[in-house]
């Protein structure tokens, strides 16, 4: 694979550069970034020497990693995201996020799932990563360590949950997305937190959710159907509200985060109770065909999502478009 093709397919390495600059590991990451993304042979040499000297390295793995570093000079070397992710993980000394990213990528490694693998250049694009780190930086200036239970609307695979778990005292994170295919991969990203009951991905249309005070709820149609079938006479006799009986409480929430406002109408915000602590992102990327609800500037965002208190308002130039953020109380 020539350098231009490599840079196109593995542009997500630049997103990792943003991540490791934030975590203070950029100097080390630069070695492997320059070795592969910029085809720097001095860095290739340094990385290979270090890989050979690392303890507990499987010789077969080291050989595969060296083939990856020298791929443009070797025939029949097939570069795959799974191989590069394990190389990054090893060289970055088992960084927790890269360990989980390997599990995430390996979810699609075999069989029919390979064709459904998400575009890593989107998931870990420079703009995606910068915008999520922006959230963490500004939120840290507002909250004092603990943020309790957090719910993400349009959570996707939820890259930012890692940063919240590492930077704040988080009780639970609920990640709600309309696409059920987001559930199992996100469980790979946050295996330990899933096992601890601290990361809970759910498949729901966020516009259909309801609130009772700070408790987030949804109507379970399967329960409703079963109740109407099994307790129809009792419901009619006592004039019971079957919708109330079939309403499930998810949890009491301390914060709502929606970084996907451009993908949905404003129903989700309209249904939030007054007094809800909310963080939201919008953007002016009207040309993206997946975006149905963009804003031209920050003033339009503030009018669309009125707050009684605004703790932060700002915009971020991602080169391709401008991203807007509000943190405040509805």
| Amino acid 57: pLDDT | 86
Instruction: For residue range 134-166, list pLDDT tens digits in order.
Output: 999 999 999 988 899 999 999 999 989 999 999
Instruction: For residue range 48-105, list pLDDT tens digits in order.
Output: 999 999 988 899 999 999 999 999 898 888 898 999 999 999 999 999 999 999 989 9
Decide: helix, strand or coil at residue 203.
strand
pTM here is 0.92
Give the C-alpha separation, 189 to 318, whole Å: 25
List C-alpha distances in Å: 8 to 4, 14, 31, 88, 120: 6, 11, 19, 18, 11
Cβ-based burial of 58 (10 A; exposed 0-12, middle 13-18, buried ≥19): exposed
Percent of the chain with pLDDT over 90: 87
Q: Kindly tell me if the per-residue pLDDT of 110 is higher than 70.
A: no
Strand residues in the chain grouped as ranges (E): 146-153, 169-177, 199-203, 210-212, 215-219, 247-252, 255-258, 277-283, 309-317, 322-329
| Amino acid 144: pLDDT | 86
CATH 3.40.50.300 is right for the domain spanning 126-214+253-329: no
For residue 296, how many C-alpha atoms fall within 13 Å in the half-sphere facing its CB?
0
Instruction: For residue range 260-319, list pLDDT tens digits in order.
Output: 999 999 999 999 999 999 999 999 999 999 999 999 999 999 999 999 999 999 999 988
Give the C-alpha separation, 168 to 140, whole Å: 8
Give the C-alpha separation, 72 to 61, whole Å: 18
Which ranges of 196-231 would DSSP assign to H, the alpha helix?
221-230
Domain extent listing, the chain: 3-123, 126-214+253-329
Mean pLDDT of 224-236: 94
| Amino acid 160: pLDDT | 94
């Amino acid at each position: 694979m020539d350098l231009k093709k490599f840079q196109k397919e593995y542009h997500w390495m630049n997103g990792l550069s943003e991540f490791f600059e934030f975590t203070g590991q950029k100097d080390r990451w630069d070695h492997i970034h320059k070795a592969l993304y910029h085809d720097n042979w001095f860095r290739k040499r340094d990385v290979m020497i270090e890989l050979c000297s690392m303890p507990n390295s499987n010789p077969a793995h080291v050989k595969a990693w060296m083939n990856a570093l020298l791929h443009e000079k070797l025939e029949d070397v097939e570069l795959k995201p799974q191989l590069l992710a394990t190389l990054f993980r090893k060289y970055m000394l088992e960084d927790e996020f890269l360990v989980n990213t390997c599990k995430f990528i390996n979810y699609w490694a075999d069989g029919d799932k390979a064709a459904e693998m998400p575009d890593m250049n989107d998931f870990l694009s420079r703009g995606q990563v910068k915008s999520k780190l922006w959230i963490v930086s500004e939120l840290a200036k507002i909250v004092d360590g603990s943020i309790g239970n957090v719910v993400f609307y349009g959570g996707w695979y939820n890259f930012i949950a890692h940063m919240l778990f590492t930077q704040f005292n988080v009780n639970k994170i609920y990640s709600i997305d309309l696409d059920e295919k987001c559930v199992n991969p996100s469980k790979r990203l946050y295996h330990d937190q899933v096992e601890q009951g601290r990361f809970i991905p759910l498949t729901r249309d966020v516009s259909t959710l309801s609130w009772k005070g700070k408790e987030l709820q949804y109507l379970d149609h399967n329960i409703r159907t079963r109740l109407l079938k099994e307790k129809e006479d009792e419901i009619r006799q006592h004039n019971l509200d079957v919708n109330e009986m079939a309403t499930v409480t998810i949890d009491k929430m301390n914060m709502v985060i929606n970084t996907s406002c451009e993908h949905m109408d404003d129903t989700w915000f309209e249904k939030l109770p007054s007094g809800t602590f909310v963080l939201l992102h919008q953007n002016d990327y009207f040309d993206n065909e997946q975006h149905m609800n963009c804003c031209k500037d920050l003033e339009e965002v503030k009018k669309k999502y009125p707050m009684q208190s605004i703790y932060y308002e700002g915009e971020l130039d991602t080169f391709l478009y401008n991203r807007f953020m509000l943190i405040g109380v509805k």
